[in-house]
């Protein structure tokens, strides 16, 4: 319930001016207005002086506040204060505004009207003053411990109204979803990636390599470049770079954790990649054929660096060791330490084979001590930077709200520019993708960031939102709605924009 008399007066006054406005819109507008300004008569807290006061007048620059000093007991002093130096004493959340409006109004055949003498109690009209003894029954919800006050029909109506608000919100959300789907977004397709599950796995593996490319020392690449490397008929420099760097990271972990420690990691990674039930559909895409021993010569895969000429020998030696020494399951055709009887493989089979081996190596690496130490350090850095970024984002929203109330606030506009510059730097430094690459769901649409590109998944298909359409995409959502505001903020954080 709203406690502040000043905020109650504004809420009732707004209702009297807009009595026919839908309750959902009415509550949203009242809440947004309260969030963006202060009101005459409102008790506030002065941040710089750590004192309380009451607003007595609104000016172009801010507010005239009558300041009280309880410690000295001196006569209250008036001072002009800007909004950024004030804090609201009493809250007015959307739910509190809704419950207040429901408590002081009632439904009639002519629509919803203000109940009892709340107008007189609050002194809404010019010349009136609030009653010395306001009638609490007119502005307070009936208490459960006094069931004699309970009006069942009123409660039912309130439940119906809340249900109506929920239905209106669902209609609003569906409208936003329809607008997103109607944009000219690019559908992701590839002739070799024929199922949604395979495309999802390709994106997942690429994201892992891309997010931790600094640790793995893999060259930067886009999703399309990664897909091209997977399904290329010949070995590409990019493919060689990926395999050689992953194998090098595994060899580092072998030295760090020892052979037995590596064995445990390999077993877990093998189960995730080559044994688990969710992977069977993708595993079946690899056409594994019987092989024959052709006198394979093993090399020490953990020594030296793989090159364009010998990288496959390195991988095959690695596979030979883990299968013979550790009894690790590997389902492959291209990387087995023998020659297949029928070595004619489709491009798709070879590409999926490469994908699975990359996944297997990566899953092994992220279980290691080296990676966990690196990841823990990244997380601590991210948490610290994100805390500062959140404070800056909140300050930016507050300043923009101040400009909406007072368009002539030139000093505030300058502050906005300064905060935006700081926020841009924090966005660039923050790495939320290390926590997860999936941003969130909005209705049936799942949004994710892949290589600083905004994608979404809908009905087992992936779509990319073009960079030149990003502003149009963001404008679809209602920034005054909590759900939408949080969603927009997350999108901007992941894409490192403001």
Identity of the highest mean pLDDT range in 283-292, 343-352, 463-472: 463-472
The confidence score (pLDDT) of residue 133 equals 44
Q: How confident is the model at residue 493 (pLDDT cuts 50, 70, 90)?
A: confident
Cβ pair 465, 454 in contact under 8 A: yes
Question: What mean pLDDT is predicted for residues 194-213?
Answer: 94
The confidence score (pLDDT) of residue 320 equals 92
Integer Cα distance of 135 and 115 in angstroms: 12
Question: What mean pLDDT is predicted for residues 341-361?
Answer: 87
Q: pLDDT of 136-192, one tens digit each?
A: 434 444 444 444 444 556 666 666 767 666 788 888 899 999 999 999 899 999 999
The confidence score (pLDDT) of residue 71 equals 59
Q: How many helices (H) and strands (E) does the chain have?
A: 16, 14
Share of the chain above pLDDT 90, in %: 35
The confidence score (pLDDT) of residue 138 equals 41
Q: How confident is the model at residue 479 (pLDDT cuts 50, 70, 90)?
A: confident
The confidence score (pLDDT) of residue 161 equals 64
The confidence score (pLDDT) of residue 141 equals 44
Integer Cα distance of 409 and 337 in angstroms: 73
Comparison of pLDDT for 83 and 198, the residue scoring more:
198
Question: What mean pLDDT is predicted for residues 192-208?
Answer: 95
Q: Give the fold, CATH level 3, of 5-144.
A: SH3 type barrels. (2.30.30)
Integer Cα distance of 169 and 175 in angstroms: 10
The confidence score (pLDDT) of residue 459 equals 93
Q: Which two tokens stand for residue 429?
A: 């430094």
Each as own residue / partner, the long-range contacts of residues 411-415 (CB below 8 Å, 24 or more positions apart, any chain) are 411/82, 412/82, 412/84, 415/84
Residue 394, pLDDT > 80, answer yes
Cβ pair 230, 351 in contact under 8 A: yes
Integer Cα distance of 113 and 302 in angstroms: 80
Enter the pTM of the model.
Answer: 0.65
Integer Cα distance of 97 and 439 in angstroms: 30
Render 110-162 in DSSP notation, one character per residue. Answer: TEEEE-TTHHHHHT-STT----SS--GGGTSPPPTT-GGG--HHHHHHHHHHH
Q: Which two tokens stand for residue 311?
A: 């990288």
Residue 469, pLDDT > 60, answer yes
Q: Where are the domains of the chain?
A: 5-144, 196-367, 383-495
The confidence score (pLDDT) of residue 154 equals 63
Instruction: Specify which residues 63 forms β-bridges with.
Output: 58, 81
Residue with tokens 């249900």: 163
Q: pLDDT of 31-52, one tens digit each?
A: 889 988 899 989 888 877 778 8
Residue 266, pLDDT > 90, answer yes
CA-based nearest residue to 39, from 13, 57, 66: 57
Integer Cα distance of 350 and 344 in angstroms: 10
Phi and psi at residue 373, to the nearest 5°: -65, -45
Question: What mean pLDDT is predicted for residues 53-82?
Answer: 82
Comparison of pLDDT for 368 and 426, the residue scoring more:
368
What is the widest separation between alpha-carbon atoms in the chain?
103
């Amino acid at each position: 319930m709203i406690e502040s008399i000043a905020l109650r007066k504004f809420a009732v006054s707004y209702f009297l001016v807009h009595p026919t406005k839908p309750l959902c819109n009415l509550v949203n507008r009242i809440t947004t207005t309260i969030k963006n300004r202060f009101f005459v008569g409102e008790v506030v807290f002065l941040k710089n002086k750590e004192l309380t006061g009451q607003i007595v007048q609104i000016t172009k620059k801010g507010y005239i506040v009558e300041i009280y000093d309880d410690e000295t007991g001196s006569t209250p002093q008036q001072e002009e204060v800007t909004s950024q130096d004030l804090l609201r004493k009493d809250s007015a959340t959307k739910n509190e505004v809704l419950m207040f409006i429901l408590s002081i109004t009632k439904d009639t055949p002519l629509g919803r009207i203000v109940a009892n003498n709340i107008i007189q109690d609050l002194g809404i009209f010019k010349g009136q003053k609030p009653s010395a003894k306001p009638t609490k029954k007119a502005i307070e919800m009936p208490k459960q411990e006094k069931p004699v006050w309970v009006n069942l029909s009123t409660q039912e109506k309130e439940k119906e109204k809340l249900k109506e608000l929920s239905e209106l919100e669902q209609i609003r959300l569906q409208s936003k979803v329809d607008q997103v789907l109607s944009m000219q977004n690019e559908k992701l397709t590839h002739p070799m990636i024929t199922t949604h599950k395979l495309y999802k796995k390709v994106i997942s593996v690429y994201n892992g390599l891309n997010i931790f490319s600094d640790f793995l020392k893999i060259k930067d690449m886009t999703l399309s470049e990664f897909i091209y490397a997977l399904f290329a008929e010949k070995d590409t420099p990019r493919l060689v770079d990926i395999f050689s760097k992953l194998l090098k990271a595994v060899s580092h972990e072998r030295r760090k954790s020892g052979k037995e420690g590596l064995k445990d990691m390999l077993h877990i990674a093998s189960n995730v990649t080559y044994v688990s039930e969710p992977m069977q559909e993708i595993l079946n895409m690899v056409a594994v054929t019987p092989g024959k021993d052709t006198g394979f010569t093993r090399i020490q895969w953990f020594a030296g660096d793989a090159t364009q000429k010998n990288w496959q020998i390195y991988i095959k030696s690695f596979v030979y060791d883990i299968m013979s020494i550790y009894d690790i399951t590997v389902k492959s055709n291209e990387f087995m330490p023998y020659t297949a009887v029928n070595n004619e493989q489709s491009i798709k089979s070879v590409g999926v084979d490469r994908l699975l081996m990359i996944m297997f190596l990566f899953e092994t690496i992220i279980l290691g001590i080296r990676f966990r130490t690196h990841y823990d350090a990244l997380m601590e850095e991210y948490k610290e930077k994100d805390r500062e970024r959140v404070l800056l984002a909140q300050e930016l929203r507050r300043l923009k709200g101040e400009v909406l109330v007072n368009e002539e606030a030139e000093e505030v506009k300058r502050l906005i520019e300064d905060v935006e510059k700081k926020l841009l730097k924090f966005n660039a430094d923050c790495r939320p993708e290390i926590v997860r690459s999936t941003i969130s769901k909005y209705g049936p649409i799942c949004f994710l960031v892949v290589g600083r590109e905004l994608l979404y998944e809908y009905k087992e298909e992936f779509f990319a939102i073009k960079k030149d359409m990003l502003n149009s995409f963001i404008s679809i959502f209602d920034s005054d709605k909590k759900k939408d505001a949080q969603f927009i903020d997350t999108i901007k954080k992941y894409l490192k924009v403001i």
